[in-house]
């Protein structure tokens, strides 16, 4: 696949642009901070987004297994699933990749006949979004699960005293 090698070559530019776009979707003051602070512990959201998008792109281009794609998606989705946003907004960043690829590889698309491969890539990004739904739902379910577990944990010593396992209720 010719496109695959082009994507691999252009990876730094594409991923960088993708990261910046996602940062820009935050309130202006937060976007400035996300871009500026490079320490991964002082800027955990910025760092995780950057690391996650890089992993997602790599997994997509290298045609990795679904499990690996899901793990890469989870890096970003578990943050987006918390941040005051409906699922449509939480996952919209995945579609941005289509435009970024088109813009970054505009010249190559003109020079070479890549229409078929581009269609194939679009279709894979669509698949990525569908997996994104899985990752998002899993995270929302996890939130419900930890809420329930915490309620149980508050009396876990008492349950143990009564001979009950926390998992049996």
Partner 1 sequence: MAKVPKPAELLPGLNFQPPAKGWMDVKPDFRPGTYCNPASPKWMEWISYPFPEKRSIPDGEWALPDNWQEIVLEGMEDRLNRFRSLKVFFDICVRCGACADKCHFFLGTGDPKNMPVLRAELLRSVYRRYFKKAGQILGELAGARDLTEDVIREWYFYLYQCTICRRCSVFCPYGIDMAEMTLLGRELLASVGLNIDWAMASVAQCYDKGSHIGATPQAFKDMVDFLAEENERITGVTTTPSYNRKGAEVLFVMPSGDYFADPGTFTMMGYMLLFEYIGLDYTFSTYAAEGGNFGWFISHEMGKRLNAKIYHEAKRLGVKWILGGECGHMWRVCNQYMPTWWGPVDFLEEPVSPITGTRFENAKVHKMVHISEFTADLIKNGKLNLDPQRNAHIKMTFHDSCNTARGMGIFEEPRYVINNVLPEGNFIEMPPNTIREKTFCCGSSSGINANENMELRMQGGFPRANAVRFVHEKYGVNHLGCICALDRATLPTLLEYWVPEVEVTGITELVGNALIFPDEIERTTDLRDRDLVGFGEAAEEDAEEAE
Contact call for residue 27 and partner 1 (CB under 8 A) = yes
Distance between CA 131 and CA 137 in Å, rounded?
A: 10
d(CA 117, CA 141): 36
State the first-to-last Cα distance of the chain, in angstroms, to the nearest integer. 53
Q: How many CB atoms lie within 10 A of CB 59?
A: 20
Per CB under 8 A, does 96 bind partner 1?
A: yes
Spatial separation of the C-alpha atoms in residues 107 and 112, rounded to whole Å = 9
Rounded CA-CA distance 117/61 in Å is 12
Q: How far is the CB of 111 from partner 1 (least distance, A)?
A: 27
Element (DSSP H or E) covering residue 161: helix 156-161
Q: At which residue do the structure tokens 């939130």 appear?
A: 143
* Interface segment toward partner 1; rule CB under 8 A; list 19-27, 56-64, 105-113, 116-124: 19-27
Q: How far is the CB of 97 from partner 1 (least distance, A)?
A: 10
Q: How far is the CB of 148 from partner 1 (least distance, A)?
A: 9
Could you tell me which residues come within 8 angstroms of residue 166 by beta carbon, excluding any fewer than 6 positions away? 149, 152, 153, 156, 159, 160
* Residue 44 makes contact with partner 1 by CB under 8 A: yes
Q: Which of 40, 63, 130, 133 binds partner 1 (CB under 8 A)?
A: 40
CB nearer to partner 1: give 113 or 162: 162
Residue 39 is classified by DSSP as: -
Site string (100-139) toward partner 1, x via CB under 8 A: ----------------------------------------
- Pick between residue 84 and residue 110 the one whose CB is nearest to partner 1: 84
Binding stretches for partner 1 (CB under 8 A): 21, 24-31, 33-34, 37, 39-45, 47-48, 78-79, 82-84, 88-89, 92-96, 99, 142-143, 145-147, 149-151, 153-158, 160-161, 166
């Amino acid at each position: 696949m010719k496109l695959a090698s082009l994507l691999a070559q252009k990876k730094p530019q594409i991923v960088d642009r993708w990261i910046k776009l996602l940062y820009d979707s935050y309130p202006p003051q937060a976007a400035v901070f996300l871009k500026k602070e490079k320490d991964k512990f002082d800027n955990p959201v910025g760092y995780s987004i950057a690391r996650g998008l890089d992993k997602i792109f790599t997994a997509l281009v290298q045609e990795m297994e679904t499990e690996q794609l899901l793990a890469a998606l989870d890096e970003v989705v578990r943050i987006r699933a918390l941040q005051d946003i409906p699922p449509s907004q939480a996952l919209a960043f995945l579609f941005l990749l289509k435009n970024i690829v088109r813009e970054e590889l505009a010249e190559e698309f003109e020079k070479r006949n890549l229409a078929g491969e581009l269609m194939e890539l679009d279709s894979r990004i669509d698949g990525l979004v569908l997996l994104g739904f899985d990752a998002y739902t899993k995270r929302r379910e996890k939130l419900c699960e930890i809420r329930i577990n915490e309620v149980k944990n508050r009396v876990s010593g008492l349950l143990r005293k009564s001979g009950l396992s926390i998992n049996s209720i």
